[in-house]
Amino acid sequence: MKTILILDDNGERIAAFQKMVPALGDEFELKIWRDASSMASESESFFPTAAIISLSYGGDPKPFETGLDAAKFLAQARPVCPVIIHSTDTDHGCSMENELRFADWIVERIRLGGTGSIETIWLQKIREFLAAHPNTWPAKLPADHDERIQRALLSLDGLSVGDGFGECFFTRPEVIERRLESQDPPPPPWFVTDDTIMALSIVRCLKRYGHIEQDALAAEFAREYAREPQRGYGGTAHGILRAIGEGTPWETAAGRVFDGQGSCGNGGAMRAAPIGAYFAYDLNRVIAEAKASAEVTHGHPDGQTGAIAVALAAAWMVREREFSAKPSHALIEFVLEQIPHTDTYYRLKKALEVPLELSPRSAALFLGNGSQVISSDTVPFCLWCAARHTDTYTDALWTTVSGLGDRDTTCAIVGGIVALSAGRHSIPDEWLKAREPIKF
């Protein structure tokens, strides 16, 4: 079966499309959406059979309801078939065309004079496209893909709530101490930062491809950065993401910073937990995919080690949960056995000497707390916090944030890991509601 996907909110045109499709043959089916948000949430399951996508702009300017929103959504996916823009709105039609063209979709705008022209102009363009461009859907998704994505989404919730929670602790010292003492969660909303935005891109990438597709991930990182550059990105990230957005290959952009050494920052680690969740039962893939996800922005081996360590910790939580993981150094031992011997490894090794009963402040003094925003100064403390609280999400975050330092990122890392062992029920509803809504 081949599917023609249509976005249009005009009843007469929809009727005309429905009348036309049988003319193409029995193998074609039609799927119509009247608004972009429904199309965005449902259309991906049709990508493997998509033959043509045809978009109108629509007349309703509500957020995420127009053809331009649909085009932006498609632009984040790998092209699967040609797109026709049958919008009568020229300005918006041009913007839609650009969105798709820049993301390498084959796209053409046609001008429909009325429903009659669907039988002529539209049908002719469809036939022309069908003859020239077969479906290019490439993904070979694993049989348990949906289950894996559910785990990645749980990790993402843990990560994003942690990110928003930790970010609220960049405030006056007396407020911080009062909150820590009373364990009073900060007042909502908890705005999320770059940690969540980049982890979202990673989970979307896993959902679309079932692996880290580096070019697509780099492009999405750059698009999200261009859309909202003020999400707390690190100093070096601005330059790298801007360069990728301007067309510099990610290998070049990520490799040339710090005199050609690449970044060893904690940005690869902060977004890696969902990768461990997705590949939990295949540790070689956890390592390879976490490395791939870090490489697009972090050329330095230690920046990649941080991502591998966090993803492995997340995988361990998924696997050990079945045996009700208890707080212990076993998590750290497991990670040490498998990560490259770079700075993060040696600092993490020290974490074995830090008793889990020690106060987080003392542990942070010994292990670092991310204030240098590099992997080796961030990841060891995070894994110590996660090992200390495998079974209680909120305790894990209170411990982590009391270490201060790069607290949105440390809380994002720990939240993304511990949610997997403590379970969805361990993230309080009020905390989820306090977090700024995020659109997966």
Binding residues for Mg ion, rule: CB under 5 A, are: 193-195, 232, 408
Q: Which residue has the tokens 């009843």?
A: 11
Q: Residue 164 is encoded by which pair of tokens?
A: 């928003």
Radius of gyration of the chain (CA): 24
The distance of closest approach from Cβ of residue 196 to Mg ion in the complex, given in angstroms and rounded to an integer, is 8
The distance of closest approach from Cβ of residue 405 to Mg ion in the complex, given in angstroms and rounded to an integer, is 12
β-pairing, 2-7 vs 28-33, is parallel
273: number of CA atoms within 13 Å, CB side? 36
User: Smaller CB distance to Mg ion: residue 14 or 434?
Assistant: 434
User: Smaller CB distance to Mg ion: residue 28 or 233?
Assistant: 233
The distance of closest approach from Cβ of residue 274 to Mg ion in the complex, given in angstroms and rounded to an integer, is 16
User: Smaller CB distance to Mg ion: residue 33 or 165?
Assistant: 165
The distance of closest approach from Cβ of residue 373 to Mg ion in the complex, given in angstroms and rounded to an integer, is 9
The distance of closest approach from Cβ of residue 192 to Mg ion in the complex, given in angstroms and rounded to an integer, is 8
The distance of closest approach from Cβ of residue 285 to Mg ion in the complex, given in angstroms and rounded to an integer, is 27
User: Smaller CB distance to Mg ion: residue 79 or 403?
Assistant: 403
User: Smaller CB distance to Mg ion: residue 93 or 232?
Assistant: 232
User: Smaller CB distance to Mg ion: residue 40 or 373?
Assistant: 373
Backbone angles phi, psi at 286, to 5 degrees: -55, -50
User: Smaller CB distance to Mg ion: residue 338 or 371?
Assistant: 371
Please name the amino acid found at residue 9. D
Q: Which residue from 121, 253, 187 is spatially nearest to 178, judged by alpha carbons?
A: 187
The distance of closest approach from Cβ of residue 408 to Mg ion in the complex, given in angstroms and rounded to an integer, is 4
The distance of closest approach from Cβ of residue 375 to Mg ion in the complex, given in angstroms and rounded to an integer, is 14
User: Smaller CB distance to Mg ion: residue 194 or 224?
Assistant: 194
The distance of closest approach from Cβ of residue 323 to Mg ion in the complex, given in angstroms and rounded to an integer, is 33
The distance of closest approach from Cβ of residue 372 to Mg ion in the complex, given in angstroms and rounded to an integer, is 15
CB 95 within 8 A of CB 70: no
Q: Taking CB positions, which residue lies at the least distance from Mg ion? A: 193
Contacts of residue 163, Cβ cutoff 8 Å, sequence gap at least 6? 192, 193, 195, 196, 408, 409, 411, 412, 415
User: Smaller CB distance to Mg ion: residue 46 or 165?
Assistant: 165
The distance of closest approach from Cβ of residue 1 to Mg ion in the complex, given in angstroms and rounded to an integer, is 44
The distance of closest approach from Cβ of residue 170 to Mg ion in the complex, given in angstroms and rounded to an integer, is 10
User: Smaller CB distance to Mg ion: residue 58 or 232?
Assistant: 232
User: Smaller CB distance to Mg ion: residue 244 or 412?
Assistant: 412
User: Smaller CB distance to Mg ion: residue 82 or 415?
Assistant: 415
What SS3 string covers the chain? CEEEEEECCCHHHHHHHHHHHHHHCCCEEEEEECCHHHHHHHHHHHHHHEEEEEECCCCCCCCCCCHHHHHHHHHCCCCCCCEEECCCCHHHHHHHHHHHHHCCCCEEECCCCCCHHHHHHHHHHHHHHHHHCCCCCCCCCCCCHHHHHHHHHHHHHHHHHHHHHHHCCCCCHHHHHHHHHHCCCCCCCECCCHHHHHHHHHHHHHHHHCCCCHHHHHHHHHHHHHHCCCCCCCHHHHHHHHHHHCCCCHHHHHHCHHHHCCCCECHHHHCCHHHHHHCCCCHHHHHHHHHHHHHCCCCCHHHHHHHHHHHHHHHHHHHHHCCCCCCCCHHHHHHHCCCCCCHHHHHHHHHCCCCCCCCHHHHHHHHCCCCCCEHHHHHHHHHHHHHHCCCCHHHHHHHHHHCCCCHHHHHHHHHHHHHHHHCHHHCCHHHHHHECCCCC
